[in-house]
Amino acid sequence: MKPIYVTEPALPPLEDFIPYLQQIWDSKVLTNGGPFHKQLEDALCEYLGVKHIALFTNATIALITALQALRITGEVITTPYSFVATAHSLLWTGVKPVFIDIDPVTLNMDPDAIEAAITPQTTAIMPVHCYGHPCDVERIQKIADTYGLKVIYDAAHAFGVQNEAGSILNYGDLAVLSFHATKVFNTFEGGAIICPDAKTKQRIDHLKNFGFVDEVTVVAPGINGKMSEFNAALGLLQLKGIQGALEKRKVIDERYRSALADVAGIYCVPSAGEKVANYAYFPIMIRPDYPISRDALYQKLRDNGIFARRYFYPLISDFPMYRGLPSATPANLPVARQSANQVICLPIYPTLGEAEQDKIISVIQEA
């Protein structure tokens, strides 16, 4: 049996992509907001239930641009339990990350810890919808409003996720999506910023294109963050198959939960009460009553050709560029540290077959 990786990019049939490529070849428009770029923005706004979206070459550049768009300085409160790009975007813009602990159930930023971390230098909060499970958005917004802070959501995992009010992407001042190859919806590489109004989108569109307004007018020290026509065309095609892909993910999620429910020491991370989930990841926690350690199970899976991942281990706060920060002190982050030491994300993607799922389940059951 071939190796089973934690994810595998969903791709449409190549022959379905050829007509899009032909249009690009015919038009000779490769970038700079061409026709596919505009079509994808419109299609994503409709699908996601958002008013405005600005497409980017990747989500890290989008995070950096979001911080620039809101003129964020000083300190930003964030989570250590995420992919490094969350905090890297802060350092890249000269902002100091302030790490707080996470909720033991949702693994998202713990709202109880936010207020204690606010200082006169705090200008914003950057929460992450970890694994696509929504943060406590209402409570975070209330704290932000009380202290006059901006909220930028790292929503890299949260494509298509909804709560009772609609898209989770409509919360905060800005929300950033990732369309990386490993994500539920991919454009090979790509990302986007969800914008609340046309004026904000215009500012972001200027910032992602060197600050240009027209041929001779530059209004901001912008960056080159534009999505190409090639990526946008793929996105349009991918959007046609997204519902089917999400339904297949849901079936795998349910199968894992059913099979692992009675395995002592295995805890399947629950949803955070979202109305519409995207099943982007399947994290389990290896508790002390499991027969072997987390790392021993990780190795046993690898020995059987199953390349699960320890998302997110180590904590961001453990890396050299962060561990000297006062907020990175291990005693400040007990839940995040325990979670990082227990987590394994199991393979989940639309083409993961039942035989492969059974193999993964049996390795865990027989440890």
Phi, psi of 140 (to 5 degrees): -60, -40
State the catalytic residue, choosing from 28, 38, 183, 248: 183
Q: Residue 82: which residues within 8 A CB-CB, separation 6 or more?
A: 128, 130, 154, 312, 316
Terminal Cα-to-Cα distance of the chain (whole angstroms): 20
Residues 68 and 265: their CA atoms lie apart, in Å, by 44
d(CA 72, CA 66): 9
Which residues neighbour 164 within 8 Å (Cβ) at sequence distance 6 or greater? Answer: 275
Answer yes or no: 183 catalytic.
yes
- Retrieve residue 180's tokens: 């990386």
Residue 366 and residue 132 in contact, taking contact as beta carbons nearer than 8 Å = no
Encoded tokens for 278: 């995207």
Q: Which one-letter DSSP state was computed for residue 100?
A: -
Catalytic residues: 183
